[in-house]
């Protein structure tokens, strides 16, 4: 069967991946902080208190340095922080 036929029949998925809580947290942080809107405290809280508190604690050093800002219940990377965004985001990752 061709891949197009599998896709249109909905049977194209050959492998599934199960994400851990840390995986979901890291994906949220990585994807949302790359947007102008950033990540909200509500989005972080939906992943659990442990991840929210971890982010809040780790984000503090970047807020103090001016690379990250917290405004209106949202965290976002500043113009200054954009130049180190890959580093900043990786420092906010949670490792089990």
CATH code of the domain covering residue 48? 1.10.10
pLDDT of 96: 86
Q: How many structural domains does the chain have? A: 1
Average pLDDT in the chain: 92
Q: What is the pLDDT of residues 23-49, one digit of tens each?
A: 999 999 999 999 999 999 999 999 999
Within a domain: 45: yes
Whether 34 contacts 60, CB under 8 Å: no
Residue 12 has pLDDT above 90, yes or no: no
Q: Is residue 6 part of a domain?
A: no
Domain containing 49 equals 19-92
Distance of alpha carbon 92 from alpha carbon 23, whole angstroms? 12
Task: Assess if residue 52 is contained within a domain.
Answer: yes
Between residues 39 and 9, which one has the greater pLDDT? 39
Residue 36 lies in a domain: yes
| pLDDT for position 61 | 97
Q: Is there a domain that residue 39 lies in?
A: yes
Per-residue model confidence as pLDDT tens digits over 61-84: 999 999 999 999 999 999 999 999
Return all residues near 33 (Cβ < 8 A) that are at least 6 apart.
39, 75, 76, 77, 85, 88, 89, 92
Is 28 within a domain? yes
Residue 3 located in a structural domain: no
- Cα dihedral sign, 61-64-67-69: positive
Residue 1 falls within a domain, yes or no? no
pLDDT score, position 15: 75
């Amino acid at each position: 069967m061709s891949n197009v036929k599998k896709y249109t029949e909905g049977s194209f998925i050959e492998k599934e991946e199960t994400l851990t809580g840390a995986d979901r947290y890291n994906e949220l942080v990585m994807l949302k902080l790359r947007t102008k809107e950033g990540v909200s405290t509500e989005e972080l809280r939906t992943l659990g208190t442990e991840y929210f508190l971890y982010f809040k604690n780790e984000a503090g050093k970047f807020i103090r340095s001016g690379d990250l800002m917290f405004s209106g219940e949202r965290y976002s990377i500043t113009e200054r922080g954009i130049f180190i965004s890959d580093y900043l985001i990786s420092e906010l990752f949670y490792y089990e």
